[in-house]
Structure 1
């Protein structure tokens, strides 16, 4: 139940942040898939640390989206059948935004305090297949 509450709180946060991004034209003008950095983080958490990890992750993802203009998405999710399997959709305006993100106090706090909680971590860099559709996703959220 607690995980479900966290999931809904994160979704509300993402929807609020996206709606604050501006009008349709601003979203299209700001979008450049060639410059963007898209990544999926695949993280497995030790069961005994799951609640604490999720609390810290929630704080970090919220701060990243709220405070960093180059962070488009830090969207954490978990596998319904195995809640210790976390996935994070990370989208940054560009490589510089990602590098800047790594230097923020909230990311450093997340990284150092959760290190002992992480059983495995795999970072998978991705590329957009349908560049034209992505801005439309954000437009639909603001309707």
Structure 2
């Protein structure tokens, strides 16, 4: 009997925490007017491309995993010109962006790739349809 009570309490605890996690996901309020959205256009010296990509992948993964306010750091390269990198950066707000710039992983990325970068252009963007953006990220979880 005691075993059944313990199992029942364990099951209730799991259900409770699952419900709380689901509610937290549903209550995420994305405000596109506060978000920092940017496309970084980066030209890399072809001699350093593999090394640069390795460092960039580490930085992007750490930023998304460790920083609550980093919504996206999504690096891409052009098929025709692989040394032309584009990064879709999305931050919850300016405070998240400013905090990101102070992280050890970003500082490591910036200092170790400085000589690899031939050109850098940061293009600030604005969402046209802020209501659809949360649906995109929700869809990825399915």
Normalised by the shorter chain, which TM-score bucket? 0.7 to 0.9
Structure of higher CA gyration radius: 2
Shift of residue 30, structure 1, vs aligned partner? 2.5
Equivalent residue runs for 1:85-100 within 5 Å: 85-100=84-99
Structure 1, gaps ≥5 residues long:
1-21
Structure 2, gaps ≥5 residues long:
1-20
Equivalent residue runs for 1:120-131 within 5 Å: 120-131=119-130
Distance in 2 of aligned mates of 1:43 and 1:69: 25
Count of residue pairs the alignment pairs up: 122
Mapped pair 1:118 → 2:135: no
SS at match of 1:26: helix
Quick one: structure 1 residues 90 and 23, their matched pair in 2 at CA, closer, same or farther if it must change by over 3 Å?
Answer: farther
Mapped pair 1:32 → 2:31: yes
SS at match of 1:55: helix
Quick one: structure 1 residues 70 and 27, their matched pair in 2 at CA, closer, same or farther if it must change by over 3 Å?
Answer: farther
Equivalent residue runs for 1:51-62 within 5 Å: 51-62=50-61
Shift of residue 138, structure 1, vs aligned partner? 1.1
TM-score by length of 1: 0.81
Quick one: structure 1 residues 94 and 74, their matched pair in 2 at CA, closer, same or farther if it must change by over 3 Å?
Answer: same
1:8 aligns with none
